[in-house]
Amino acid sequence: MTDVQRIQNLKVPSGVIDAVLDTDAFNEVDDQFAISLFLRLPERIRPLALYAAPFYNSNSSGPADGMEKSYEELARLLPLLGREDVPVFRGSDRYLPSETEVVDSPAVRDLVARAKQYSPEKPLYVVAIGAITNVASALLLAPEIKENIVVVWLGGHSLNWEHTKEFNMVQDIAAARVVMGCGVPFVQLPCMGVVDAFAISKPELEKWLVGRTPIADYLAKTVIKAQQNSDLVWSRVIWDVTAVAWLFNDGERFMQSKLIPTPLPAYDGLYEHRANAPLCRYVHHISRDALMYELIDRLTKE
């Protein structure tokens, strides 16, 4: 890929684009918001597939269980959104054993097959909001597809944060290194120091979402239930929405970004900075109110 084409592919796309979403949907409460937004942007996104990603926290007994629970959560969400037509694929049941070993799955095979139908001039957009194992496996299985896709990932922390031990990244550092080191056009939305600004409070959920539409009600009550043991004033970051929102960030109305050499996460919890690395797009600011208004508007339309 030429430098000119890379820079073009790192711009916010225009018109209707083809995209897939890779998600650890049962990990916490924010993936559901992102999935809903992804499926409610007909003027920008043609959603081709949803992939279940592995995760391991208190909501799962291990990466395989996390992936399976994410697959089941996607199946619950689609009827609420009226989008049972979008196919859902099981993803990797474990993290990458190394930076050279594929973890095969239906999701990986589907991504490879789809990506081969695209080109640098008309790329497939791959939005990833979990451990990036599925995407890394696809790139290892068919390295040539890096020319045909743009990867948009919520992962890692900001460059000035003290470490890179963010949930999505730290689960599978090998996968993050494969994706960020292979030269695929890459958009990074860092968590702490950038996306942590995108939070919603209980009064906002109750005023703007509860009872408005089936999906808005489901999402709001899911967040409120998750915070039910908190007696303090609270807000909840709904991180994953921002990765989807980058696809329609025309005129930087929701976030600001810049081109930088793609950093590489190291196993010591820091970034390796490579002066001659291919450029990536790095998001460094979220316009919280503008994006929250847009999200609420999309979720409350019948």
| C-alpha–C-alpha distance, residues 253 and 260, integer Å | 20
Chain segment 246-297, per-residue pLDDT in tens: 999 999 999 999 999 999 999 999 999 888 899 999 999 999 999 999 999 9
| Predicted structure pTM score | 0.96
Please name the residues in contact with 170: beta carbons below 8 A apart, sequence gap of 6 or more.
164, 269
Please name the residues in contact with 115: beta carbons below 8 A apart, sequence gap of 6 or more.
124, 126, 138, 142, 145, 148, 149
Q: Give the pLDDT of the chain (302 residues) as one tens digit per residue.
A: 899 999 999 999 999 999 999 999 999 889 999 999 999 999 999 999 999 999 999 999 999 999 999 999 999 999 989 999 999 999 999 999 999 999 999 999 999 999 999 999 999 999 999 999 999 999 999 999 999 999 999 999 999 999 999 999 999 999 999 999 999 999 999 999 999 999 999 999 999 999 999 999 999 999 999 888 777 889 999 999 999 999 999 999 999 999 999 999 999 999 998 888 999 999 999 999 999 999 999 999 87
Edge-to-edge strand ranges of the sheet holding 124-128: 88-89, 45-52, 17-23, 124-128, 149-154, 186-189, 279-286, 255-261
Residue 253: which region, alpha, beta or left (left: phi > 0; alpha: psi -120 to 50)? alpha
Q: What is the DSSP letter of 247?
A: G
Domains of the chain plus CATH, in order, are 3-199+235-284 (3.90.245.10)
Chain segment 2-15, per-residue pLDDT in tens: 999 999 999 999 99
Structure tokens belonging to residue 262: 């793609």
| C-alpha–C-alpha distance, residues 90 and 98, integer Å | 21
